[in-house]
Amino acid sequence: MPLSRRDFTARTVIAGAGVALTGTVGALATAPGALAADDTTRHDEHGRPHEPGYGPLVPDPAGILALPAGFTYRVITHSGVTKLDSGETTPSNHDGTAAFEGHRGLTLLVNNHELKGPRSGWAHPVPLTEGLVYDPAASGGCTVVEVRRGGEVAEWVGIAGTSTNCAGGATPWDTWLTCEETEDLAGKNGMTKDHGYVFEVDPHDRRANRDPKPVKAFGRYAHEAVVIDPRQGHAYLTEDASGPNGLLYRWTPPQGFHHGRGKLRTLAPDAGVLAAAKCFDSTGRFVDDLSRATQTGTVYGVDWVEVPDRDARTTSVRKQFGADAVTRARKLEGMWWADGGAYFVSSYARSESPGPAHDGQVWFYDPKRRTIRLMVLLGVNADPSKDGAFDGPDNITVSPYGGLVIAEDGEGVQHLLGATESGRTYPLARNEMNMGTAENPEYSEFTGVCFSPDGRTLYANIQEPGIMLAITGPWRRAH
């Protein structure tokens, strides 16, 4: 049932007081050019501004990762260097990751490998492990990394033969949903099966991953990330696409369906309802693109418009809607469920978006109020080659120490950055692996940021060549 204007006005009054922010993440804003709802700068006993975070980053003699003093990192997997338990080398292009608690102190990490197109195009595709292959022509998939208490590491294939496995999301029943960021049909780019789906990977039970089946009920498009509402059972999904810009989706389960391990693969392709978000402001005016928002704290109401053809045989899902039917955004990326709702990212806006240019937004969707609120807004980074400014948020996680940790996928220097509950940002790590030259340096994006179940270790990936890192140190609330 659509929201009435009266309902929305009442809900935005409540939202303005702090929608769904139950102490994990407060109203956030980031520099440069960010617009904060209020002044959240803290001062020390001498009246000087208190700098958030853990202090300046210390250059790494090994040329991999700069961290604050007192922090250390360890390489967990390295494409072409470390090996799977079957003998093949670790696949490349690490992307979305989640951590799960295993038996006897194990940490289990499911790691996407964003490899598009035929296997011949990659030196280290995901091995075609018998029984775990969807399309033998495709190069992507997931590996499961076991980190034991003593530091030993094992790695094995969770799914193979999928394409462009970008982000995804952990489920409340302790499995991983891996998302294909592609729309390739069988016969295109060498593929022998249709792609653009979500697949479930169980890190606890290898047998459960045999005979992979796509969750067609979630639709076929350039999937980025997904989260599951543990109470209502809805799935929320982002789409990283342009021409036109992508959409935010909600899947409503069919009546009587109950989530659980392996249940998604039993769904019919048309099960439930897949719908796209349609936003409007407090006056009832339709919002065509999220780039229209220019201040943190902006709140929009959300209606959901059913997708006509979710398998998109002839027309991409995002192209099935008219100009005033749904709300779009450029590079809808990472998602994380926390505080009773879904945090989600739009990485930037430029000429393909109708609103002002920006270098990143983080929104919060409140399913109870059916509103979204702009939590983070990054102004355009004038000089990405210089350290200190941030742009292009991608994968995100909510920290057990408060605030967000964000993986940067922008231009120039690449960071892991934190955002405190009071609304200030700070660098947490810097990629120092220069893939270019001294004159023209080039750095790969960070991906797969997530904390271990006990909160003591932050895992993150450098996408190229493909390195998983474990970061430890004196974690605390970084006010």
Total count of residues recorded for the chain = 479
- Determine the Cα–Cα distance for residues 410 and 393; give it in Å rounded to an integer: 7
> Per the domain annotation, does 46 fall within a domain?
yes
Sign of CA dihedral 158, 161, 167, 171: negative
Cα–Cα distance for residue pair 336/228, rounded to 1 Å? 9
- In this structure, the number of other CB atoms found within 10 A of the CB of residue 186 comes to 12
Amino acid letter for position 349: A
Question: Is 477 inside any structural domain?
Answer: no
- Whether residue 381 contacts residue 408, with contact meaning beta carbons closer than 8 Å, is answered with no
CA distance 440 to 72: 28
Assess if residue 344 is contained within a domain: yes
Q: What is the C-alpha separation between 274 and 221, in angstroms, rounded?
A: 12
In a domain, 131, yes or no: yes
Q: Which residue has the tokens 């989706």?
A: 249
The answer as to whether 329 is a domain residue is: yes
Task: State how many domains the chain has.
Answer: 1
Tokens of 82: 């470390």
CATH code (residue 362)? 2.120.10.30
Give every CB contact of residue 433 below 8 A, 6+ residues apart in sequence.
63, 64, 443, 444, 462, 467
- What is the three-state SS of the chain? CCCCHHHHHHHHHHHCCCCCCCCCCCCCCCCCCCCCCCCCCCECCCCCECCCCCCCEECCCCCCEEEECCCEEEEEEECCCCECCCCCECCCCEEEEEEEECHHHCEEEEEEECCCCEHHHCCCCCCCCCCCECCCCECEEEEEEEECCCCCEEEEEEEEEECCEEEEEECCCCCEEEEEECCCCCCCCCCCCCCCCEEEECCCCHHHHCCCCCCHHHCCCEEEEEEECCCCCCEEEEECCCCCCEEEEEEECCCCCCCCCCCHHHCCCCCCEEEEEEEECCCCCEECEHHHCCCCCCEEEEEEEECCCCCCCCCCHHHCCCCCCCCEECCEEEEEEECCEEEEEECCECCCCCCCCECCEEEEEECCCCEEEEEEECCCCCCCCCCCCCCCEEEEEECCCCCEEEEECCCCCCEEEEECCCCCEEEEEEECCCCCCCCCCCCCCEEEEEECCCCCCEEEEECCCCEEEEEECCCCCCC
Q: Is residue 25 part of a domain?
A: yes
Residue 20: the pLDDT is 30
pLDDT of the residue at 376:
87
- Does residue 479 belong to any structural domain of this protein? no
Note whether residue 322 is domain-resident.
Answer: yes
Contact status, residue 234 vs residue 252, Cβ threshold 8 Å: yes
CB atoms within 10 A of CB 278: 22
Host domain of residue 307 = 5-472
Greatest pairwise CA separation for the chain in angstroms: 68
pLDDT in single tens digits along all 479 residues of the chain: 566 544 554 555 444 433 332 223 333 333 333 323 233 445 445 555 567 889 999 999 999 999 999 999 999 999 999 999 999 999 999 999 999 999 988 999 999 999 999 999 999 999 999 999 999 999 999 999 999 988 899 999 999 999 999 999 999 999 999 999 999 999 999 999 999 999 999 999 999 999 999 999 999 999 999 999 999 999 999 999 999 999 999 999 999 999 999 999 999 999 999 999 999 999 999 999 999 999 989 999 999 999 999 999 999 999 999 999 999 999 999 999 999 999 999 999 999 999 999 999 999 999 999 999 999 888 999 999 888 889 999 999 999 999 899 999 999 999 999 987 665 778 999 999 999 998 999 999 999 999 999 999 999 999 999 999 999 999 988 76
Residues 464, 465, 469, CA angle at the centre, nearest 5°?
Answer: 85
